[in-house]
Structure 1
Amino acid sequence: MRLAFQVAYIGTDFHGSQMQASSRTVEGTFIRDCQDLGLFDDWRKAGFAFSGRTDRGVHARRQICAFTTSLPERAIGRLNRILPEDCWCTGWAETDETFHPRYHAKTRTYRYYLYDDGTTDLACMQEAASLLLGTHNFTHFSRLKGKNPEKTILSSQIHIENGFYVYEITAPGFLWNMVRCIVTALVAIGRNEIDTDYLTALLNATPRMRHLTPAPAEGLILWDIDCGITFTPLAVSGRRKDAVRERRRYFETMKKVDMLLD
């Protein structure tokens, strides 16, 4: 049976999501624990895949993974018992054998959390965020590595929530560092360091303009992915909730990780 899982994780102690031979990653951890449970031997033959990559320090609320196993009940009932405290499943679904979480993802939503320290103008940032709607050239907002710089933004908005400016953006796909570079531009506009004309020039890929520097990874959460399937919720243990809140004591900006439990 092929299963899909919604996966949440705190990215602080992971070297990103993509599997690496010598570093702790989300994929590597998940595959190891699946193998320990006997869900599959070879992750390639099981068709194990995540819906996308997140960089070191980036968190996820609803990443999606999928794999094929002959022991679906064991996967559903025991994965959360063996996964570490900073990675857990929040939902599951049975899919057909052709399902691939990356290629079947219709939209991806990210949120970036910024402290409201009183130095930025929310109205200016909201106006700038609205300029991102539609299709633009994001050459100056990403590391392209040969990829098409044009992306279509379906939703782009910013609001205040629990003492944070929360920027939320939805698109079918994103480029490497794209959301974090957008946040850099929005903050610069909110602090009157650049204006919306400069942002427009960046979106037009005006030559000889400097590429933006990504905002810190710790503020970014992969918030949701729509693959067109319905997930059955999985309970999050009290032990894991306690572990999440304990981490807040050590990482000031990690107040946002409570959102991962929603």
Structure 2
Amino acid sequence: MEKVKETDPAAPLPVRLACRVSYLGTRFYGSQQQESSRTVEGEFIEACRRLALFSDWRTAGFASAGRTDRGVHACGQVIAFSTQTPDRARQALNSQLPPDIWCTATAVVPDHFHPRYDARSRTYRYYFGEPPRDPVAMETAAREFSGDHNFTNFARVGDKNPWRKILEIRIGTEGSFTYLEVKAQSFLWHQVRCMAAAALSAGMGEQDADGIRLLLNEAASRPIQPAPAEGLVLWDTDCGLTWDPVGKSPRSCTYCTELRRHHALMEQVCRVLGPE
């Protein structure tokens, strides 16, 4: 598709637009722009350029609510930018985004809006690949994370303040899957994945709530190792916005349908060919 011509200099002043964005993280090297790797932000910016929503992402104030690692998914990422053609963005973005990214809603926001700094809270879900043997023990252990804690043993802290406040945490089920859902204003790198690994170990009888409480209060010779990235979903980012839903992306719907068929087929093949 040829690029749409740039908007006339006499066009109305830019409108700041926030987009609620979903993506499947499997084929991305994370969400943040990288010069030589496929990322969520990189694909989103290229889609905006093809639609002439802006020419330079910097002058458009392009920003995301947060970064997700390679392989991590989202249904509640928030991306914002300023454009002179917000209607074109709402109507055509999904036609230009690749099928593993789609915009689900938009909102007009103040010019100073920044999805990272204006986020009130972020919610993540971690879906476990195997069910816990003792869901009650898992729930009890997970409750130890509630409130203010030093997460040095449950994150890659670096030079960040290790203290974080967990606003809500629970264990839930969806179909045959068990998940950990956790809400906070902000998280440290790998924090949710480390919390998920610790909760699962309690659900498998490998440790208990006392063990997690100890790790929250005392130094450890070896921090908790994070659970695999593929189970993590950025579930929601609360920026206090009222969203205007965008119609489903046909390309993304087809892509997800084919992906489900592929996984169902591979599961059947493994049953037939896999070792007993």
TM-score computed with the length of structure 1 as normaliser:
0.93
4+ residue runs of structure 1 moved beyond 3 angstroms?
249-252
Asked if 1 retains the 8 angstrom alpha-carbon contact of 2:32 and 2:42, the reply is yes
Q: CA RMSD in A?
A: 1.4
Task: Determine whether 1:55 maps to 2:58.
Answer: no
Percentage identity across aligned positions?
Answer: 50
CA distance in structure 2 between the aligned counterparts of 1:211 and 1:233, rounded to whole angstroms: 42
Task: Determine whether 1:111 maps to 2:132.
Answer: no
Offset at residue 31 of structure 1 (A): 0.5
Task: Determine whether 1:190 maps to 2:203.
Answer: yes
Specify which of 102, 116, 136 is matched with residue 123 of structure 1. Answer: 136
Match of 1:243, as an amino acid?
A: Y
CA distance in structure 1 between the aligned counterparts of 2:210 and 2:161, rounded to whole angstroms: 24
2:186 aligned partner: 173
2:256 aligned partner: 244
Structural mapping, 1:85-234, within 5 Å: 85-117=99-131, 119-204=132-217, 206-234=218-246
1:260 aligned partner: none
Asked if 1 retains the 8 angstrom alpha-carbon contact of 2:153 and 2:219, the reply is no
CA distance in structure 1 between the aligned counterparts of 2:263 and 2:242, rounded to whole angstroms: 34
Larger Rg over CA atoms: 2
Asked if 2 retains the 8 angstrom alpha-carbon contact of 1:120 and 1:187, the reply is no
3-state SS in 2 of match to 1:197: helix
Provide closer, same or farther for how the CA distance between residues 251 and 140 of structure 1 changes in structure 2, counting only shifts above 3 A: farther
Asked if 1 retains the 8 angstrom alpha-carbon contact of 2:141 and 2:209, the reply is yes
Offset at residue 116 of structure 1 (A): 4.4
Offset at residue 251 of structure 1 (A): 4.7
1:65 aligned partner: 79
Offset at residue 240 of structure 1 (A): 1.8
CA distance in structure 1 between the aligned counterparts of 2:118 and 2:133, rounded to whole angstroms: 38
Q: Which consecutive residues of structure 1, in runs of 5 or more, have no partner in the other structure?
A: 253-262
Q: Which consecutive residues of structure 2, in runs of 5 or more, have no partner in the other structure?
A: 1-14, 265-276
TM-score computed with the length of structure 2 as normaliser:
0.88
